[in-house]
Structure 1
Amino acid sequence: MELLRGLRVTALTGAGVSTDSGIPDYRGPDSPPRNPMTYQQFVQDEAFRRHYWARNHVGWQHVHRTHPNAGHRALARLEDAGVLVGLITQNVDLLHEDAGSRNVIDLHGRYDRVICLQCGRVISREHLAERLTALNPGFVESIGDVEDVEIAPDADAVIEQTSHFRPAPCEFCGGVLKPEIVYFGENVPRERVERAYAMVDDGDALLVAGSSLTVMSGLRFVRHAAKQEKPVVIVNRGWTRGDPLATLKVEAGTTETLTALAEALTR
């Protein structure tokens, strides 16, 4: 990682950074097949929304059992040392913030907020949890041992029996509530994208950790940095769509690699 010594670095992270915190990724070599709900399905089909909110309501009960791992802490340490100018994450788990990172762009949103698609009001997911519990007494308990429930990267619990679940409408206008998370098939808000481009511009190099870069929302920043002839370092187990643009590809786990990088660059 001598390539990054003396440079101001921008980081781009994906789900692979959080796997050691117990949150599975979507496309890692050992990840099971997943079919995340699309934006179109959520908006157009009430049954899909009911299924999503039932699973999310259970997942929400588990989200606080996850904690930042050494990789998250290493990135916060690099920021504290002035090596990292900022961090763009495709994750919605807020573990970077929990680890102490301050200049973070949550590219795909965050799991702890909910927005009304009709009036635009934003409420906390914690407040919605209270309403969903009141509407669905005993539902979470009926799922079984909470420690045995598998949680997907977007805080969605992997359960099947959801047809009897009652979602909550917006308490202000009666509209449809949606997590403030960018779904598959939905665009990242333009203002957020522009801030992320500016963060890449601020750095001398781009460090990608734990992302396959399969979707354009992350790959575009790699292309942007490469076009500016900035070094691009990718740390990921398995192929990524950005590999042809990488100055250096590290085929290893993010936790141990980021920890070693922080140790080397903050001496």
Structure 2
Amino acid sequence: MENKLKEICINIIGHAKNIVVLTGAGISTESGIQDFRSRTGIYQMSPEYILSLEYFLKHPKEFYQFSLENLYHPDALPNIGHEILARWEKVGKVSHLITQNIDGLHQKAGSQNVIEFHGTMKTCSCINCRKIYSTEEMINRLNTMKEFYICSNCLTKNRTERFIKPDVVLFGGAGDWFTIEGFNTIIDQIHQADCVLVLGTSLKVTPFSTFPQYRRDDVPLIIINKGDTPYDNKKDTYVIKESIGEVLSLINASLEL
């Protein structure tokens, strides 16, 4: 990171008291979790169709086999990037964190105000009765039951409605935050921010990609991502294409937080 850009970002974050952070897969790759959309990501091995609601309803067993192998990482640990964000929240710099990630690493690091915009792989729910199953319970069911994905609690006669789905947002589906109230909450958080910090996301997947545009005029946008984003050349935007952990560590050390 060039010295002038480094100094600008240190100054912005040093003075900020209401940072809203947007994170994507790039922050979790430094914890060993594979990135979906990089050239080496799992999308190169399997089409997005496998992670669609349509595919889940047609092939629930195959869906679970794929998602448990590629999306569920219970042993992954937060990296220095996650830990610094949690520290910044604790000292009052970061107010909210909105993530595309479903790995729960921000919470493991200690972040409290986290919106999991694309859901979580920690739990699964019956489509009809909403009974919640832990993912570990679903793994046990998969190993001991033929139709493990059929809810044991639900009484509806419609078989498909009794499917237990991981609590992640699938292509063709929607999540808990995909409501007018949910969007308004996020937009309001970003509009109140005095800095928006984007980490490890290409900002190309809607509607998540629209969020930075709701910051107020003259509010700085700092993007730390190895690839390009649609916002790279926008006004008051500072782009760093380096390791998230290394850059945040450098800034944090300079701030002596």
TM over 0.5: yes
Counterparts of 2:33 and 2:69, CA distance in 1: 15
The TM-score, its normalising length taken from structure 2, stands at: 0.82
Q: Once the 2 structures are TM-superposed, how far is the Cα of residue 263 of structure 1 from its aligned partner?
A: 2.4
Match of 2:206 among 216, 228, 247: 216
Note the alpha carbon deviations across 1:216-239, whole angstroms, 9 max, x for none. 2321111111x5442111100011
- Alignment partner of 1:4 is 2:13: yes
Cα contact 1:81–1:266 (8 A) shared by 2:
no
* Separation of aligned partners in 1, 2:40 and 2:149: 35
Question: What is the Cα deviation at residue 5 of structure 1?
Answer: 2.5
Aligned residue pair count: 234
Equivalent residues in 2 for 1:108-147 (5 A)?
Answer: 108-135=118-145
- With 114-123 and 93-102 compared, the bigger mean Cα shift is at 114-123
Q: How do 1:157-176 residues align onto structure 2 when only pairs under 5 Å count? A: 166-173=147-154, 175-176=162-163
Rounded Cα–Cα distance in structure 2 between residues aligned with 1:133 and 1:44: 20
**Residues 215, 56 of structure 1: CA spacing in aligned structure 2 closer, same or farther, 3 A cutoff?**
closer
2:228 to 210, 219, 239: 239
Give the direction of change, closer, same or farther, for the CA distance of 1:168–1:40 in structure 2 (3 Å limit): closer
In structure 1, the partner of 2:52 is 39
Name the structure 2 match of 1:65. 75
Secondary structure of 1:5's aligned partner: helix
Q: Which of structures 1 and 2 has the larger relative contact order (alpha carbons within 8 angstroms, sep 6+)?
A: 1
The equivalent residue for 2:67 is: 56
Q: State the partner residue of 1:251.
A: 241
Taking a change above 3 Å as real, the CA distance of residues 218 and 103 of structure 1, as seen in their structure-2 partners, is: same
Mapped contact 1:105–1:192 kept (Cα < 8 A): no
Equivalent AA in structure 2 for residue 244 of structure 1: N
Aligned twin of 1:193:
183
Deviation (angstroms), 1:261: 2.4
Aligned amino acid, residue 3 of structure 1? I
> Over aligned residue pairs, what C-alpha RMSD do you find?
2.2
Report the AA paired with residue 222 of structure 2.
V
Deviates more, 1:188-197 or 1:106-115: 188-197
For the 8 Å contact 1:29–1:238, the answer to whether it is kept is: no
Contact 2:27 2:244 in 1 (8 A): yes
Offset from partner CA, 1:189-235 (integer Å, 9 cap, x none): 2143333223213321100000011112321111111x544211110
Q: Which amino acid aligns with 1:89?
A: T
Aligned to 1:159: none
**What amino acid is the match of 1:39?**
S
**Residue 76 in structure 1 maps to residue 86 in structure 2:** yes
Query: Contact between 1:237 and 1:252, CA under 8 Å: does it hold in 2?
Result: yes
Aligned equivalent of 1:155: none
Query: SS in structure 1 opposite 2:73?
Result: helix
Q: 1:58 Cα shift? A: 4.4
Q: State the match for 1:180 in structure 2.
A: 167
Distance of aligned partners of 1:29 and 1:64 in 2 relative to their CA distance in 1, 3 Å threshold: same
Which aligned segments of 4 or more residues in structure 1 are displaced greater than 6 angstroms? none
Deviation at 1:92, TM superposition (A): 0.4
Gaps of 5+ in 2: 1-8
Q: Offset of 1:55 from its aligned partner?
A: 2.5
